[in-house]
Each structure stands twice: as C-alpha cells, then as structure tokens.
Amino acid sequence: MKTRPLSIYGIGNPLIDIVIQATDGDLKALNLDKGVMHLVDEIRQKEIINYFKNCNTKYFPGGSAPNTMLACAGLGTTSLIAGKIGQDEFGDIYLRQAEKFGVLSGLVQGCGPTGSSIILVTPDGERTMNTHLGICREFSENDVDAGKLSQSTFFYFTGYMWDTESQKAAIKKAISIAKENNVQIVFDVADPFAVDRNKDEFLIMIEKDVDIVFANYSELAILFDSENVDSSADELMKIVHRAGMELGEKGSLVLDDGKKHHLPPQPISAIDSTGAGDMYAAGFLTALAKGYSTKRAGEIGGLLAEEIIQQSGAQFGIDKINFLRIKFFK
C-alpha cells in the first residue's frame, strides 16, 4: 500500500491549560467545588485569573483530541491537529507550545477568545478545572483542510465535537472526504455525557461510517443500555470491525474483526486519571500507523494510559514522550 504523507488528521477543541498551585482556602474564597470541572464564561475566568495574578502560572496546549495528537507526534507519527483558536495571547501560546511537540498545525484563528481551562491543583493532587470553551466551538466545515485530510491514513475525532451544529457539520464533511479517499475513520466516544445526549446518532454513525472506535466502560454502558461489558462488546462488534475499550482496573478489551482480546492491567499506583483515554488512543493509533497488529496496538495503548495516570496532568513532558517512543517503537 502506498505510504501517505500524513499519518493522522485530528479534529478537536484546542484549549490552553493554565495550571496554578492553589489551596483549599483559595477554592473557598472563589466559591469553587473541589475536584469538579466548572464551565465558566469569560468574565468568571478573568476573575479567577486576576485572583492568582501574583502566582506562578504554567501554560500547556490541551484539549482531548489535541492531547492525543500531541502524543502521537511525540511518539514519532506524522500528526496534524485541526481546530479553532483566537487571535490572542492564549492562541499564540498554544501555537508555540504545540510546535515543541512536533505536531503539524491545522489550527485556524478567528475573532474570539481561545478556549482555555484554569486548572487549580491543591496540595493533595486534586484538580479543580474552570473551562471556557471560547471560539473552538465555532470550528466549521470551511475550516476542514480537504487536501491534507485526503492524504492521511487516519482521521481522528471525538464525541466532544457534537456540542454545536457548526462542529457537527465540520465532522460530517470530514467523514465524507475521508470515505472518498479511503482514509480510515477513528471515533473516540470520549465522554459519557456526549453519549447520553447523542446516543442514537452515534450508533448510526459508527455502523455507517466508522472503522475504529475507542470507548470506556461507562460510555459502552450508555451506548448499549447494559452494565455487562462482554454483552456491550458483542453488540459493538456487530457494527464496527475494530475497537479499543478501557476497563479501568480490569485492564482493556480489544475487538479485531470478530475476535475479542482481554488485556489485563499492570500493578500500578494511580495518581491522576486525567488524560488516560487520550493517551490510550495515542498509543493505539501510533502503533497502527507503524504497522503493528490491532492486539499489540491495544497493549501499547493500555501501557501509555497506565503511564499517564502515574503522574499529575494530562500530557507527558517532551523528555518523557521521547523516552516512551524509544521504549515502545524502537
């Protein structure tokens, strides 16, 4: 098969992560529930930033699909992230930080604030997030780069892109381009709330358009109205050829053309589950892009997920991702 110039074309919501060390007293002063993700407006976000104006602040490129694409690039796969950012300070920071990971940019800049998430980390490791989605919700079908997508091996997107009609239209256009050019379509369900809102539409799309699905046990339970993982997996096998499913403490399950492979977990001490799904997808996709079997891709995805939950934060640093690239993809 002819090698394509781009391995993975991803579409997602680019959010700049603003990480600040905080105390329980700070959370109380700001009237924030500890350990919860709050959706906030621009005014509220500026209020929180102003409260911590004299504190040390770190900035990282984030967002679910962007996290996956950054890791894929770091693992040695030619990857592009498409999304919408603002023509502002956070947008410029995002572009500079993403470039360090070697990911190709399909980001477009529009008139509006870059999406961002203020992550307040207390001494016990709990993360309280305050997210303003900003302009990323305005990504549209006009922002899809048909040329680059048509020259990719995989097209990757998540359930978060079903939040607005504009985003949904962009994904539908991208799916059409991918199918016309034999690009494999990879759907990461990503969020139980997205499944709950769009269950019927997701099931139709998976059966009609998708080649590979990523999901966890909570998302599977909602998709197929069953807490029984094996039963849900059997139903999923009826509508898609390949899938990777994270089962938490029970490891993971890989579906491969009618075969089920249960992969046991490694004994580890989890610190922070943030980013586990993103890194699972990154390891799985990178392995497939490099020609590994579906089962081995699932193993590597599981190992990367286990690596990320042993640290705080949703991403590996550049040194760590280089180490993991050598470890898994010599």
Q: Please give the Cα distance from 181 to 264 (Å, whole number).
A: 36
pLDDT averaged per 10 residues in sequence order, the chain, 330 residues: 81 92 95 86 92 90 92 95 95 89 93 92 83 94 97 96 94 98 95 89 96 93 91 94 90 92 82 81 96 96 88 82 90
Domain, as residue range, for 163: 6-12+63-107+136-328
Q: Is residue 29 part of a domain?
A: no
Tell me the β-bridge partners of 246: 216, 252
Q: Is residue 245 part of a domain?
A: yes
Q: Tokens 């494999």 — which residue?
A: 184
> Which of 277, 5, 7 has its CA nearest to residue 156?
7
Q: Are strands 212-216 and 184-188 parallel, antiparallel or unpaired?
A: parallel
- Number of folded domains that form the chain: 1
Give dist(CA 207, CA 195) in Å, integer.
15
Residue 232 lies in a domain: yes
In this structure, are residues 236 and 258 in contact, taking their beta carbons and an 8 Å threshold? no
Q: What pLDDT, on a 0 to 100 scale, did the predictor assign at position 313?
A: 74
- Which CATH number belongs to the domain containing residue 245 in this structure? 3.40.1190.20
pTM of the predicted structure, to 2 decimals: 0.91
Q: How many whole angstroms separate alpha carbon 280 and alpha carbon 308?
A: 9
Q: pLDDT at position 115, please?
A: 94
- Which amino acid, residue 243? A
Lateral strand order in the sheet of 116-121: 37-39, 127-132, 116-121, 15-21, 57-62
140 is written with which tokens?
A: 């549209």
